[in-house]
Structure 1
Amino acid sequence: MSGSTITPWVVGNWKMNPIKADALQLVENFKHLLQTNPIDENKCHLGIAPISIALPMVQANFSSANRAIYTVAQDVSKVAGTGAYTGELSAELLVDSQIHYVLIGHSERREFFADDAAALKKKIGNALNAGMTVIYCVGESLEQREACQAETVVLQQICDIASVVESEQWEKIVIAYEPIWAIGTGKTASPEDAQAMHAKIREGLTQITAKGANIAILYGGSVKPENAVELAACPDINGALVGGASLNAESFYQIAQAFANTK
């Protein structure tokens, strides 16, 4: 079971959405909800991962919120620094723009953009060396789950990065478990199944690092207000990585409130 000192995270992954005007309205709506009924920073970390061209805009607009809301990059280059790498965005350039959080390893990146273990290790190493906090995504396909390979697959994904994370850098790692079959499908792992996998991840982390008991493990995969309270009640679920529901300010707020009030 996780340590009681873990503050939950609720992070919205906007993916390739929305257009600029809608993004600005979404930010304003969310700030208004937090102003009307604040969520204590000590009870829940909040983050939003917009498209890369919106990172500075979203960060600037959240600066007037009544609490910290972290701006999170959706990905980072496997190339460090600067140079002749058209289309890439390095960890150093993100940090130079005051972006200190990044998603790495999302299943959509793995499936559609060839983010294999070698690429992910480079990305994570670059991000950590630049001082960023990494939200590392893991998860199994439906075929793997039905073949009783889910735990093996997920634990291997965590082991894949162990060689590039220095002992002191585990404090900069957050794990997000997202069963691939539940992402954007409306299907959600039952709280019991999600908790069982989170407990297994916790066990694996404690075998890799002395900090394993205190690493936040988030659940993702069709998280919505209707299931947030039940998920938040699970002892090893330390927050949520929210997809579609984060594009609605009220829904995202309710999910954050569920974790802040339950943990």
Structure 2
Amino acid sequence: MSASTIRSWVIGNWKMNPVQADAQQLIQNLKQLLQHGPIAEQDCQLGIAPVSIALLPVREQLEDAAVKVVTVAQDVSRFPATGAYTGEISADLLKDSSIQFVLIGHSERREFFGDGPAVVADKIKHALAAGLTVIYCVGESLEQRESGLAEQVVLQQICDVASVVKQEQWSNVMIAYEPIWAIGTGKTASPQDAQSMHAKIREGLQQIAIQAGNSAILYGGSVKPENAVELAACPDINGALVGGASLNAESFYQIAQAFAKTK
């Protein structure tokens, strides 16, 4: 499978936003846009990652959307099944609640909550064992990029978890490349820089497993309607993990349209 034939994904990461009433209105606005201008699933699959307390309400509200929009958990416990882990939500509990997708390894989790390589690997192992699809986030800091270490850092983050992903499980893994210096800053990697890194990631994945080379690789880092078309035109960019722009239904919809039309 070539990169150009991999299905595009646009996933909105709401992070710790918004309040319940605004979340309901945001979903309603998105559903109205999709009702009037559907985006075919084969052209671009959509997903929303709300805060944990909104996972079920958002999933239920999306059930009657004109097109399929999956609900994505923003994180998952490193511990499996059930047990005495106050405040945690395991992959098994997500699956039991019909949440099939999860973000793992986001830079904010790594920086603020101590999600080092071992923790991230545990989360991925248990998520895949439970049958979830993982969106694994990788990315370098500005200092690492300016030091010429960007590719080394990103490829190492992939190697950190390769041992816990079985060959056949790579079909349930997506990669989200998010340069840390571009997250929430308004700065965006140029399409050329983003494509170059995505191509390196795909090359690294192909060396790990044939199936891994077919994984969708999403770009994240201040994605907005103004740069979505250029990013979508890059052959190895298979979609976007959208932060702030996903809190506006029109902006999120326009980004999804850009990938649906280009791919």
- Is TM > 0.5 for Structure 1 vs Structure 2? yes
Aligned twin of 1:34? 34
Contact 2:102/2:133, CA 8 A, preserved across alignment: yes
Aligned twin of 1:78? 78
Aligned twin of 2:208? 208
CA-CA distance at 1:212 after TM superposition: 3.0
Q: CA RMSD in A?
A: 0.8
Is the aligned partner of 1:69 residue 2:65? no
Q: Distance in 1 between matches of 2:28 and 2:254?
A: 16
Partner-residue secondary structure (3-state), 1:143: helix
Q: Distance in 1 between matches of 2:213 and 2:173?
A: 12
Supply the AA of the counterpart residue of 2:138: V
State the number of aligned residues: 263
Supply the AA of the counterpart residue of 1:167: Q
Aligned twin of 2:127? 127
CA-CA distance at 1:5 after TM superposition: 2.2
Aligned twin of 2:58? 58
CA-CA distance at 1:2 after TM superposition: 4.0
Aligned twin of 1:150? 150
CA-CA distance at 1:72 after TM superposition: 0.1
Structure-1-length-normalised TM-score: 0.99
CA-CA distance at 1:213 after TM superposition: 2.9
CA-CA distance at 1:103 after TM superposition: 0.1
Partner-residue secondary structure (3-state), 1:4: helix
Supply the AA of the counterpart residue of 1:203: E
Contact 2:232/2:262, CA 8 A, preserved across alignment: yes
Is the aligned partner of 1:109 residue 2:109? yes
Q: Distance in 2 between matches of 1:202 and 1:145?
A: 19
Contact 2:229/2:258, CA 8 A, preserved across alignment: yes
Q: Distance in 2 between matches of 1:27 and 1:124?
A: 28
Is there any run of 5+ residues in structure 2 with no aligned partner, and where? none
Structure-2-length-normalised TM-score: 0.99
Q: Distance in 2 between matches of 1:177 and 1:2?
A: 19
Contact 2:4/2:236, CA 8 A, preserved across alignment: no
Aligned twin of 2:164? 164
Contact 2:4/2:235, CA 8 A, preserved across alignment: no
CA-CA distance at 1:148 after TM superposition: 0.1
Partner-residue secondary structure (3-state), 2:135: strand
Q: Distance in 1 between matches of 2:137 and 2:213?
A: 18
Q: Distance in 2 between matches of 1:247 and 1:109?
A: 20
After superposition, what is the alpha-carbon deviation per residue over 1:109-146, rounded to whole angstroms, capped at 9, x for unaligned?
00000000000010000000000000000000000000
Supply the AA of the counterpart residue of 2:51: I
Contact 1:171/1:215, CA 8 A, preserved across alignment: yes
Contact 1:217/1:237, CA 8 A, preserved across alignment: yes
Contact 2:78/2:126, CA 8 A, preserved across alignment: yes
Aligned twin of 2:258? 258
Partner-residue secondary structure (3-state), 2:219: strand
Is the aligned partner of 1:242 residue 2:242? yes
Q: Distance in 2 between matches of 1:92 and 1:251?
A: 33
Contact 1:2/1:202, CA 8 A, preserved across alignment: no
Q: Distance in 2 between matches of 1:3 and 1:236?
A: 6
Partner-residue secondary structure (3-state), 2:15: coil
Contact 1:74/1:102, CA 8 A, preserved across alignment: yes
CA-CA distance at 1:90 after TM superposition: 0.2
Contact 2:107/2:139, CA 8 A, preserved across alignment: yes
Contact 2:3/2:214, CA 8 A, preserved across alignment: yes
Aligned twin of 2:189? 189
Aligned twin of 1:98? 98
Is there any run of 5+ residues in structure 1 with no aligned partner, and where? none
Contact 1:219/1:241, CA 8 A, preserved across alignment: yes
Q: Distance in 1 between matches of 2:215 and 2:161?
A: 15
